[in-house]
C-alpha cells in the first residue's frame, strides 16, 4: 500500500473510532497512543461539510470519510457526486438533511486535485515534503506547548490588528503591544523552543517589540517591521519621481503601493451563527472599506500599509507573486548589482558600468531582467501545486478559526442542548479542556473574550476574530500557499541579485547597492497614523517618511522580511499558524532551488555561479563552473 493510501486509511480508521465513541459515550480511550491518534483527528480540516449549529463541529464523520476518498481519487467530479457540501445540506434535529433552496454562489473547495499533477521542470508536487504540523497533544497525552504558543500568537495578532506597525520596534511605547508580549512570554515554549524557532531578544531569551511576529530568517529583526519592498517605489523612465512616492513603474505604467483601508475594529465570525455559516461554505457579504469621499460610489481611501489589518487586506486579494514581482521591478530599476559570479553576463550589472569591463554582448533573455522576471512568476505555480499536495493529500490540517471554535465549545458546553451534547466526543472535550487551560492561564482568552464582547450585542466568546467575513479559504491550513510562493519567489531573487547589497543614499539617489565610501544608511516608514481606530479617510498620505538609520538594511534581510511579512500577514488575518509559514517557506525554497539546478544544466555556454542564501542562513551554490 502506498504511503498516501496508508495515511488515508489511518484517518478513516480514526473517523470510524470517533463515530463509535459518539455512539457509546462511555467508551474510554485505551492508552496514550489512542489519545494521540484521536487528537490528530480533532485537528482535521472539515470546512465546507455540514456542521452542527450548536457545537460548530462536523455532524457526520462519514462526510469526512467521503471527502478524503474524493481527495484520494484525484478528480474534481467526486467532490460533487459523493461529498455533501454544507451549503446544500444542513443539520436539523441532529440529522443532516438537504437544504430546500441551496444558494448558487456557495464557496468551492480550492484546487484539491492540483497536487497530483506532474511537472516537466523542477520537482514534482509530490517530491517535496513537510514534517507533521504541531499536534494538539504529544505522544504522552499532554498539551503540546508549541501549538499553544502558535494559537496564542494568532489570538494576539487579532487583538493587535489595528495597532500601528511603527510601534513594533524597541524604543516605542504601546501598552497593547506590551500586554501581548507579556502574555506570550508567559508561555513555556518561548524559553524552551524544541520545534520551530522564533526570534527573541538575545539577552533575555524572550519576545520584545523588535522580535515579536518577525519570522525566523536572518535580518528579519533588523529595522522596521515591514520590508521596504512593501512601501518604496522606483524612479520613472525619465528619472523622475522618488522611492518615497511608493510608485512602482512597470515600463510606462505605474503601481501604487498604498492599499485600501478596511474599516477598523470590524472583525468577523465572533458568534457561533456566523462561524457555522462560514464552515458550511456559505458565501457572506464582503468586508467594508473607508470611502475616499462622501459620494457613496468612490473607490476606497488608500494609505501605505500601517497596521496588521492593512497587511491582512493586502494578502486577501494579492496575485500571489505580486510582492516579489514588485521587488524585482524595483531592484532592476535601481540598477541593483547581480550576483558577482555572473554579473558580467547580465549586460546591465556593475561590470557594464565601466568601459574597461563592459562586454560587447550582454544578457536579457539569459541572465538579464526578463529571465529573472519570468522565473519569479514561473515558480509560483509550482509552489502552489506542491503545497496543495501537502494541504489535501498529506496533512489536511484544520484552520485556526476551527481550533478556536473547539476552545469556545468547551466554554459553552453546559449550555448546549442534550441532543447537541451527544454529538460531542468526550475525548475531544477532555483534550480541548486541557488546551484551553493553558491559554486561560496566560490571559490570552480573557482578552479575546473582552474583544469579542465589544464587537457585537451578544456575550463575548473565545472564537477567533477574523479579518475576512468568510474566514479562511476553502482548503486546509498546512502548508500555506502564500508562504510557499514567498519561499520560491524570494529564493529566485536571492539567486540573481547580490544579497550583500545595502539600502543606501548616495547624493540624492537611494538604492540597494554595493556599499561605497560616503554612503548613508537610510530607511522609509509609513506616515504615523494618529488614530488607527478612526474611519476618517484623512489618514491618507502621499509620501513615505525618509529616516536616517543606525545600520544599513541588507538586501538579504529585506527579502527575508518580505517573505515573512506576506506569510505572517495571513496569520494577522486569522487564517494561518506560524508553523504554516515556517515549513512552507522552506518547501518553496526547495522548489525554486530544484528549478534553478535543472535550468543550470541547460546553460552550456558561459561559466556562472548563483549563490543562494537560504532561510536558515546557509548558502547553496548552483552553476556551471
Query: How far is residue 214's CA from residue 211's CA, in Å, rounded to a whole number?
Result: 5
Task: Give the residue among 215, 142, 146, 141 at the shortest CA–CA distance from 187.
Answer: 146
Residue 55 CA from chain centroid, whole number: 28
Whether the Cβ atoms of residue 38 and residue 403 lie closer than 8 Å to each other:
no
The answer to whether 180 touches 213, Cβ cutoff 8 Å, is no
End-to-end CA, the chain: 43
- Cα 220 to Cα 561: distance, rounded to the nearest angstrom: 5
CA distance 510 to 507: 8
* 57: its cell numbers: 463541529
- What's the CA gap between 565 and 115, in Å, rounded? 26
Q: Would you put residue 31 in left (φ > 0), alpha (ψ -120 to 50) or beta?
A: left
At 98, is the secondary structure helix, strand, or coil?
A: strand
Task: Give rounded-to-5 percent helix, strand, coil for the chain.
Answer: 45, 10, 45
Which is the catalytic residue, given 85, 242, 482, 576?
A: 482
Ordered DSSP codes for 362-385: --STTTSHHHHHHHHHHHHHHHHH
285: helix, coil or strand?
coil
Query: Can the peptide bond before residue 479 be classed as cis, meaning omega within 30 degrees of 0?
Result: yes
Q: How far apart are CA 506 and CA 45, in angstroms?
A: 52
Cα-Cα-Cα-Cα dihedral of 482, 484, 485, 486, to 10°? 80
Q: Give CA angle at 329 (199, 559), nearest 5°.
A: 10
In order, the DSSP letters of 480-518 are: -HHHHHHHHHHHHHHHHB-TT-EEEEETTEEEEE---TT
Query: 502-506 and 259-260 as β-strands: parallel, antiparallel, unpaired?
Result: unpaired
Is 475 catalytic? The answer is yes
DSSP state of 254: E
Q: What are phi and psi of 98, to 5 degrees?
A: -65, 145
The count of other CB atoms within 10 Å of the CB of residue 154 is 23
Of 242, 344, 475, 576, the active-site residue reads 475
**444 phi, psi to nearest 5 deg:** -65, -45
Backbone angles phi, psi at 622, to 5 degrees: -130, 135
Catalytically active residues, by annotation = 475, 482
Amino acid at each position: 500500500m502506498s504511503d498516501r493510501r496508508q495515511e488515508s486509511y489511518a484517518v478513516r480508521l480514526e473517523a470510524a473510532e470517533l463515530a463509535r465513541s459518539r455512539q457509546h459515550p462511555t467508551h474510554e480511550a485505551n492508552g496514550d497512543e489512542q489519545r494521540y491518534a484521536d487528537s490528530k483527528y480533532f485537528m482535521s480540516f472539515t470546512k465546507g461539510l455540514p456542521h452542527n449549529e450548536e457545537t460548530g463541529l462536523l455532524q457526520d464523520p462519514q462526510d469526512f470519510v467521503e471527502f478524503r476518498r474524493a481527495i484520494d481519487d484525484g478528480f474534481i467530479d467526486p467532490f460533487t457526486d459523493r461529498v455533501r457540501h454544507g451549503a446544500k445540506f444542513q443539520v436539523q434535529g441532529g440529522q443532516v438533511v438537504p437544504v430546500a433552496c441551496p444558494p448558487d454562489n456557495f464557496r468551492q473547495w480550492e484546487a484539491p486535485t492540483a497536487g497530483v499533477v506532474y511537472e516537466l521542470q523542477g520537482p514534482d508536487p509530490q517530491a517535496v515534503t513537510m514534517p507533521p504540523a504541531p499536534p494538539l497533544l504529544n505522544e504522552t497525552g499532554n498539551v503540546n506547548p508549541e501549538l499553544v504558543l502558535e494559537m496564542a500568537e494568532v489570538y494576539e495578532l487579532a487583538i493587535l490588528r489595528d495597532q500601528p506597525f511603527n510601534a513594533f520596534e524597541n524604543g516605542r511605547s504601546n501598552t497593547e503591544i506590551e500586554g501581548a508580549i507579556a502574555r506570550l512570554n508567559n508561555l513555556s515554549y518561548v524559553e524552551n523552543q524544541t520545534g520551530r524557532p522564533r526570534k527573541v531578544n538575545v539577552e533575555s531569551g524572550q519576545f520584545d517589540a523588535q522580535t515579536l511576529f518577525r519570522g525566523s530568517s536572518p535580518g528579519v529583526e533588523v529595522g522596521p517591521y515591514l520590508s521596504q519592498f512593501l512601501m518604496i517605489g522606483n524612479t520613472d523612465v525619465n528619472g523622475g519621481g522618488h522611492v518615497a512616492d511608493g510608485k512602482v513603474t512597470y515600463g510606462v505604467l505605474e503601481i501604487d503601493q498604498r492599499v485600501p483601508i478596511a474599516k477598523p475594529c470590524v472583525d468577523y465570525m465572533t458568534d457561533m451563527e456566523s462561524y457555522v455559516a462560514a464552515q458550511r461554505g456559505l458565501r457572506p457579504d464582503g468586508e467594508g472599506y473607508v470611502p475616499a469621499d462622501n459620494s457613496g460610489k468612490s473607490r476606497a481611501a488608500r494609505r501605505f500599509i500601517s497596521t496588521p489589518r492593512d497587511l491582512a487586506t493586502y494578502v486577501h486579494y494579492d496575485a500571489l507573486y505580486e510582492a516579489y514581482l514588485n521587488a524585482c521591478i524595483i531592484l532592476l530599476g535601481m540598477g541593483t548589482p547581480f550576483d558577482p559570479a555572473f554579473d558580467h553576463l547580465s549586460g546591465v550589472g556593475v561590470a557594464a558600468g565601466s568601459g574597461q569591463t563592459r562586454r560587447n554582448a550582454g544578457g536579457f533573455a539569459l541572465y538579464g531582467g526578463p529571465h529573472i522576471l519570468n522565473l519569479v512568476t514561473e515558480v509560483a505555480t509550482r509552489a502552489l501545486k506542491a503545497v496543495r499536495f501537502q494541504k489535501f493529500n498529506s496533512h489536511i490540517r484544520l484552520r485556526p478559526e476551527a481550533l478556536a471554535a473547539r476552545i469556545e465549545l468547551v466554554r459553552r458546553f453546559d449550555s448546549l442542548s442534550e441532543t447537541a451534547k451527544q454529538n460531542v466526543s468526550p475525548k475531544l472535550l477532555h483534550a480541548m479542556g486541557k488546551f484551553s487551560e493553558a491559554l486561560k492561564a496566560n490571559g490570552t482568552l480573557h482578552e479575546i473574550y473582552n474583544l469579542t464582547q465589544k464587537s457585537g450585542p451578544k456575550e463575548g466568546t473565545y472564537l477567533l476574530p477574523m479579518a475576512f467575513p468568510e474566514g479562511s479559504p476553502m482548503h486546509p491550513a498546512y502548508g500555506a500557499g502564500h508562504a510557499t510562493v514567498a519561499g520560491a519567489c524570494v529564493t529566485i531573487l536571492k539567486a540573481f541579485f547580490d544579497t550583500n547589497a545595502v539600502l543606501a543614499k548616495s547624493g540624492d539617489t537611494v538604492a540597494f547597492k554595493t556599499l561605497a565610501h560616503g554612503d548613508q544608511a537610510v530607511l522609509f516608514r509609513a506616515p504615523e497614523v494618529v488614530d488607527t481606530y478612526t474611519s476618517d479617510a484623512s489618514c491618507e498620505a502621499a509620501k513615505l517618511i525618509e529616516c536616517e538609520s543606525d545600520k544599513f538594511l541588507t538586501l538579504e534581510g529585506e527579502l527575508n522580511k518580505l517573505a515573512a511579512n506576506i506569510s505572517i500577514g495571513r496569520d494577522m488575518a486569522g487564517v494561518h499558524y506560524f508553523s504554516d509559514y515556517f515549513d512552507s517557506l522552506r518547501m518553496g525554497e526547495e522548489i525554486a532551488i530544484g528549478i534553478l539546478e535543472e535550468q543550470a544544466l541547460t546553460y552550456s555556454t558561459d561559466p556562472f555561479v548563483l549563490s543562494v542564501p537560504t532561510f536558515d542562513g546557509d548558502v547553496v551554490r548552483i552553476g556551471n563552473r
